[in-house]
Amino acid sequence: MRKRTDCAATHESGRAPIFQFLRFGIVGALGLGWDTAAVYALRPLVGLGCAAIIAYFVAASSNWWCNRLWTFRNRGNRHHFLHQWARFMAGNTVGFCLNRGCVFVLFHLSATCRLYPVLALAAGALSGMTANFHISRKHVFQHARPDMTPPVASGTSSGDRPATMEPNGVPHLLGEKDKSP
């Protein structure tokens, strides 16, 4: 059996974001379906504008779940799922503004988009997709971080002052005023 080289691992990790973006796009297409279904179902009850707002949260929640299970499944779901959902919704505020901003502009400017909301919804989904991907990848579905517990110092680093590590990994020299009595 052939061992993986560092070059092969680097090549695979370099392709990972591309495959994640493609999976994110497939989930986004499913989200467009959920978004559209919710708008068409809610429109007679609450009107087009309210239906578009509610439908965004239905689609975004469904997209978060699919991205958690499929797109970013290997990125270490470090947070409780409700905490991660809240991070996803908060993090994708930029995407929400781009998405629904585009949708409402098209509703305002185009009778065709008011008659066939799926057209505006598709344009909105495309306008927010790249921002949502980058925010989700960097801030919501993060790689698991190593334990941030400072290591025990072995020996001394400067005279009689023992060294400890700050949580950010920077060494900290304990002075006389820093020592506990």
With the C-alpha atoms ordered 93, 98, 101, 106, is the resulting torsion angle positive or negative?
negative
Q: What is the model's pLDDT at position 118?
A: 96
Alpha-carbon span 91 to 136, nearest angstrom: 7
Dihedral class, residue 169 (left if φ above 0, else alpha if ψ from -120 to 50, else beta): left
Q: Cα 89 to chain center, whole Å?
A: 9
More confident residue, 72 or 167: 72
pLDDT higher at 48 or 163: 48
Q: Which residues pair with 172 in a beta bridge?
A: 164
For residue range 86-134, list pLDDT tens digits in order: 888 888 888 889 999 999 999 999 999 999 999 999 999 998 888 888 8
- Is 47 exposed, middle or buried, given 0-12, 13-18 or 19+ CB atoms closer than 10 A? exposed
